Amino acid sequence: MGTGTGRTRAARLAAWVLAVLSLAVVIATATARSTVLDAGFYRSVLDDQHAYPRLYDQVLVDPRVSPVTRDLLGRLPVPEAAVTSNLKTVLPPETLRALTNEQIGHLVAHLRGDEDPLRLSVDVRPLAANLGDLSQIYFGDLVGSLQETPEPDFAAFRAGLVQAVTRLTAGQAPVRLPSLSLTAQQVSAAADTLLRAVPESGRPALRPDVEAALADGDVAGALAAVGPAVFSDRTRAAAADLRKVADGGTWNITADLGAGSVGALDQARAGTRLALGVVEPLALLVALASLAVLWFTAPPNVPGRLRQLGWALGAGGLTAAVLALVLGLMTGRKVLDTPSSWPESVARLVDDVQTAAFDRMLTAALTTALVPLLAGALLVALARLMERRPDPFATRRAQAVPALGATALALAGVALVPLAFTGQDARVCQGSTRLCDLPYDELAQLTSHNAMSTTADRFIGPLQDPGITGQLDDGVRALQIDTYHWERPDQVAERLKESDIPPEAQKFVLDAVNRFNPAREGWWLCHSVCRAGALELVSTLRELGDWLHAHPTEVVTLIVQDDISGTDTAHAVEQAGLTDLLFIPDEDPHHPWPTVGDMIDDGHRLVVFAERADGPAPWYRNFYRYGMETPFAFRSAQEMTCAPHRGGTDKRLFLLNHFITIDGGSRLDAGQVNRRQDVLDRVHACERERGRPVNFVAVDYTTIGDAGGAVNALNTERAHDR
């Protein structure tokens, strides 16, 4: 009898130990499955720590990181400041996020055994293409803040051009820009002077842009067009440097990791496959078997059996919790000790990310361990209740159900609770995880004034450089466009008188009215006069729709200076296939707007306003019913005010006209007023005066200066204040 009792006790003790250990193992593997072996976990941690904004704002601008930054950008022939201030042009945040998420996905799939061999690669061709954009922005900025110097004659003007282009060739800013009203013959001769610095093969393509800028009196624009071409060979070499790590345009990261790193990853993969494929299911079976042995070898009374199960479940949960805490103490909540040689900005970011990841994993483990601990405590408490009040538990079913229920709850909880810590991909709105909860009427949007009037589309007197898609890619989220029917010859002179096209350009247009560019049917995007440059409305709207469908987390606004009817506009939008994207504002202009995230979730991400019309389509509202603006006919930065203009005051939307108009737009003025601090200072001043946040910061030449950086700063302030 004594021998049998001893064996029973030994079996019960062994079962109890196995139950405790196997439960701890199941908790550990379930936690690992939902954290370190889940791609969303890493993405969520990166977003929680604002890793991407910090990379741009802290790491890549750190002087100690600049050598690496220079190598990354292919040793561009531009000053260090231009590289660091335009990093987002070469490596846009959305691109960086997508690249990182892709590599995380491949790495986790490899560790889980779903992908073999490890394939980490990056397509560097888009980055190489962006190098040319950086050159364009740099040279536009280089001449954008200079002052013009009137010259007495064409010879002096030409000499000034030679001096300016010579300094550009050396990568330096010109000392001054010559200014002179040119005849058509002089325009051609001056263009010859500038184009001599360009490789011969590139001159024909550039000549129209250069001549148009010179005819417009825009010497800065002509130099900005020539500048990147002067460095075309060096820019191509810079792109080639970036592609040296690539084979056919793809950087094979796996090959560059080296045999040691890949071998370590393969060892980790073997361990995770063993843990998930063998250890976890085996531990679960052992736990079930051990708990069954405890039930049948416990004292014959039901309270005793419940107590045995309760203590085993509780001990298993407690063991897992203690092991997790010990691991945290031993590692200092870090996997990697950042070397002292690392720049502080890099070390801080890495430490913050790995500490946050470890804390999240520790929280998942402790929360999961709490489930069997609570189930065990429940069973022990139930055993005491049975001993005090046995009558309600007289039947076998009433005795067995609590035990089975608590055990099933504990094991199911261990499997399911870690899923609550599975990292979900953070919601991104307007390129940021922090703007989804921001109402539309609190969102700041970089707005391109006369967005259709571009050098890329060969407008006379352009006010932007890239085309519509290029502006959107550069961060513009509101487009001011002008819709027209093609004018008759007798209407041209009248429109020109009322336009802000420079007098010299007006003369050029009038001379060309009947000889070139005959009238065309349909709807057009023009700047005052379609013969000075025009884009077909429907095809441009289709281009906008393509961009929106390719960027499903972005909201875009159109503010239309409408010379065609609301009905015509509605037909154009319908023909362009944009109806599914249109947002319908509330009929009451004072009604609160939805959040950016709600608009994105609903799929209605295109807001369209008119300056004159109000309908008939419900999505086509008059802007000045909903919004107010500042004046726009400023002739100098000192004249800029916050005075009420169209729309009056006390409207929910606020348009800040932040550009200089002196016979047309000017790169020189844009270089001054588009500076980040200048934009922020005026925005804050006007917000204090009007009592509403500025929503649309409308500027000429969005690629000159840093108006986009100012808008990003405004949105960061507003998201932080909510």
What is the predicted pLDDT for the residue at 354?
87
What is the predicted pLDDT for the residue at 655?
97
Backbone angles phi, psi at 354, to 5 degrees: -70, -35
Q: Does pLDDT of 476 surpass 70?
A: yes
Is residue 35 helix, strand or coil? coil
Average pLDDT on 43-48 reads 83
Q: Which residue has the higher pLDDT, 348 or 81?
A: 348
**Pairing relation of β-strands 250-252 and 121-123?**
antiparallel
Average pLDDT on 224-249 reads 58
Backbone angles phi, psi at 481, to 5 degrees: -125, 155
pLDDT band at 1 (very low <50, low <70, confident <90, very high): very low
* pTM for the whole structure: 0.63
Query: What whole-number distance in Å separates Cα of residue 270 and Cα of residue 672?
Result: 60
What is the predicted pLDDT for the residue at 231?
60
State both tokens at 424. 């979900």
What is the predicted pLDDT for the residue at 568?
96
What is the predicted pLDDT for the residue at 468?
93
Query: What whole-number distance in Å separates Cα of residue 206 and Cα of residue 72?
Result: 29
pLDDT band at 523 (very low <50, low <70, confident <90, very high): very high
**Pairing relation of β-strands 653-657 and 696-699?**
parallel
What is the predicted pLDDT for the residue at 536?
95
What is the predicted pLDDT for the residue at 699?
96
Backbone angles phi, psi at 333, to 5 degrees: 60, 35
pLDDT tens for 123-133 read: 666 666 666 56
Average pLDDT on 428-448 reads 91
What is the predicted pLDDT for the residue at 544?
96
Is residue 454 helix, strand or coil? strand
In total, the chain counts a number of residues equal to: 722
Q: Does pLDDT of 240 surpass 60?
A: no
Q: Report CA 179 to chain centroid distance, whole Å.
A: 41
Which of 530-534, 638-642, 683-687 has the lowest average pLDDT?
530-534
pLDDT tens for 118-154 read: 777 766 666 666 665 666 566 666 566 566 677 778 8
Q: Does pLDDT of 571 surpass 70?
A: yes
What is the predicted pLDDT for the residue at 198?
80
Q: Does pLDDT of 89 surpass 70?
A: no
What is the predicted pLDDT for the residue at 512?
60
Instruction: Write b or e for each residue in 18-31: b if 16 or more Cβ atoms lie within 10 A of its Cβ, otherwise e.
Output: bbbbbbbbbbbbbb
Alpha-carbon distances, residue 283 vs 18, 146, 291, 309, 692 (angstroms):
9, 74, 12, 17, 61
Q: Does pLDDT of 581 surpass 90?
A: yes
What is the predicted pLDDT for the residue at 256?
58
Q: Does pLDDT of 457 surpass 80?
A: yes
Q: Does pLDDT of 209 surpass 70?
A: yes
- The percent of residues above 90 in pLDDT, for the chain, comes to 25
Query: What whole-number distance in Å separates Cα of residue 38 and Cα of residue 108?
Result: 6
Average pLDDT on 25-31 reads 86
Q: Which residue has the higher pLDDT, 291 or 66?
A: 291
Query: Residue 718: CB partners within 8 Å, gap ≥ 6?
Result: 438, 442, 443, 444, 693
pLDDT band at 36 (very low <50, low <70, confident <90, very high): confident
Domains and CATH numbers, the chain: 2-121+250-421 (no CATH), 133-243 (no CATH), 440-721 (3.20.20.190)
pLDDT tens for 366-416 read: 888 888 888 778 878 777 877 776 655 445 555 556 656 666 666 666 666
pLDDT tens for 305-360 read: 778 887 888 888 899 889 988 888 887 777 777 778 888 888 888 888 888 888 88
State both tokens at 456. 């890329």
- The percent of residues above 70 in pLDDT, for the chain, comes to 75
State both tokens at 630. 């500042």
**Is residue 511 classed exposed, middle or buried when 0-12, 13-18 and 19+ CB atoms within 10 A define those classes?**
exposed
Quote the DSSP letter at residue 276.
Answer: I
What is the predicted pLDDT for the residue at 245?
46
pLDDT band at 225 (very low <50, low <70, confident <90, very high): confident
> What mean pLDDT value characterizes the chain?
80
Query: What whole-number distance in Å separates Cα of residue 291 and Cα of residue 497?
Result: 92
Average pLDDT on 271-290 reads 83
What is the predicted pLDDT for the residue at 636?
86
Q: Is residue 290 within 8 Å of 19, Cβ to Cβ?
A: yes
